[in-house]
Structure 1
């Protein structure tokens, strides 16, 4: 007796949008994390300029080792976040997608507040925080647009 094939529903547009946003942010996080782990000096010079990058390295060999180890672990964490975003991108549950997107918006908003209230007070990083703030807001905006798109689809 032959079995009939089970029809497979095409992915909904909101799950495709969720997949796209997750993959985009996973690529950004994993790339930045890998660069922080292996090319920290070059990335610091590119992002902050040579003078600020030299100041951020530390003044004594012990400080330099601590800062380099800390930055490498931060890069590893960022890479792991990118890998986690990649894994989450395959989840098809709409409720989870909305919950996850709201959490990401809150996370990016918290980073923006951190930059506004604390990072701008650091003399060496004072000129970089507006650019990084824009990056946080753009990443948050991608999740907000996904939420608006999924709400529009849900209530239409």
Structure 2
């Protein structure tokens, strides 16, 4: 392995580990502290509206949010495992896939979340988060291409 590819490996590992910590933390908080996180992110009034109005709705929403948290937890563990893959071709492929995933989330926020009255004021902040996470992978690709052509 050349010295330049080892620095690219270090960058890939760092990005994966950082995003893994974010995903695991958010997933665990969604599963166990959903009310507090919703109040922190949206405010108490909006968080109350997001809980649902009937006990049946509340149970469905709580179950759905718990599964979303579990999915984030799984994504975090997947990112942790992928962080140690040394195949440069796979790293490039994975980074491109992550960029597409974050772009899809950004489009979802722009086209659907902004139309929801209770979430309309939160989507720009979440959109910025999606773009920052995507830019970390773009930075990795640019860094990898720079190493390849230098």
Give 5+ residue unaligned stretches, structure 1. Answer: 1-7
Q: How does 1:1-156 map to 2 (within 5 A)?
A: 12-156=6-150
Task: Give the distance between the partners of 2:40 and 2:64, measured in 1 at CA.
Answer: 19
Alpha carbons of structure 1 residues 101 and 128: separation in structure 2 relative to 1, 3 Å: same
Q: Deviations over 1:38-87 (max 9, x none)?
A: 00000000000000000000000110000000000000000000000000
The TM-score, its normalising length taken from structure 1, stands at 0.93
**Deviation, structure 1 residue 155:** 1.1
Which consecutive residues of structure 2, in runs of 5 or more, have no partner in the other structure? none
C-alpha distance in 2, partners of 1:64/1:115?
Answer: 23
Tell me which structure has the larger Cα radius of gyration.
1
Given the two structures, how large is their TM-score scaled by the length of structure 2?
0.97
Alignment partners' CA distance in 1, 2:127 and 2:99? 14
Q: How many residues align?
A: 149
CA distance in 1, matches of 2:120, 2:107: 14
The alpha carbon displacement at 1:9 in A equals: 7.1
Shift of 1:123: 0.3
The answer to which structure has the higher helix fraction is 2
- Following TM superposition, by how much is the alpha carbon of 1:154 offset from its aligned partner in structure 2, in angstroms? 1.0
